[in-house]
């Protein structure tokens, strides 16, 4: 399921961000500013992954009947009129 992939991406990104920010805090306390710079890059990458996951989550809601990507939330597909079950 693509939806599951999006959720896993978001969860992984959040995990990376939290871990990285903790490490960054420790390095700031240690005065390890090279390490802080590396952590800043990792945090930026994690943030991008989070945005990508959120975009996937929003974009990949598909009609189970005709397979088209649904642009709006609703109970019925605007393309084929088939019933679309919620989350």
Q: Rule CB under 5 A: which residues touch Zn ion?
A: 63, 65-66, 77, 79-80, 82
Least distance from Zn ion to the Cβ atom of residue 75, Å = 12
Least distance from Zn ion to the Cβ atom of residue 61, Å = 11
Residue found under tokens 């969860």: 11
**Angle formed by the axes of helices 2-30 and 33-59, nearest 10°:** 160
Least distance from Zn ion to the Cβ atom of residue 55, Å = 22
Quick one: 28 or 66, whose CB is closer to Zn ion?
Answer: 66
Give yes or no for a contact between 46 and 9, defined as CB atoms under 8 angstroms apart: no
Quick one: 24 or 77, whose CB is closer to Zn ion?
Answer: 77
CA–CA gap between residue 69 and residue 21 (Å, rounded): 36
Give yes or no for a contact between 9 and 56, defined as CB atoms under 8 angstroms apart: yes
Quick one: 4 or 75, whose CB is closer to Zn ion?
Answer: 75
């Amino acid at each position: 399921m693509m939806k599951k992939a999006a959720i896993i991406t978001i969860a992984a990104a959040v995990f990376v961000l939290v871990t990285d920010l903790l490490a960054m805090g420790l390095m700031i306390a240690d005065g390890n500013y090279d390490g802080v710079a590396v952590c800043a890059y990792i945090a930026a990458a994690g943030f991008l992954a989070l945005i990508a996951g959120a975009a996937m989550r929003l974009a990949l809601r598909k009609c189970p009947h005709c397979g088209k990507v649904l642009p709006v939330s609703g109970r019925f597909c605007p393309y084929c009129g088939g019933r679309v079950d919620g989350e």
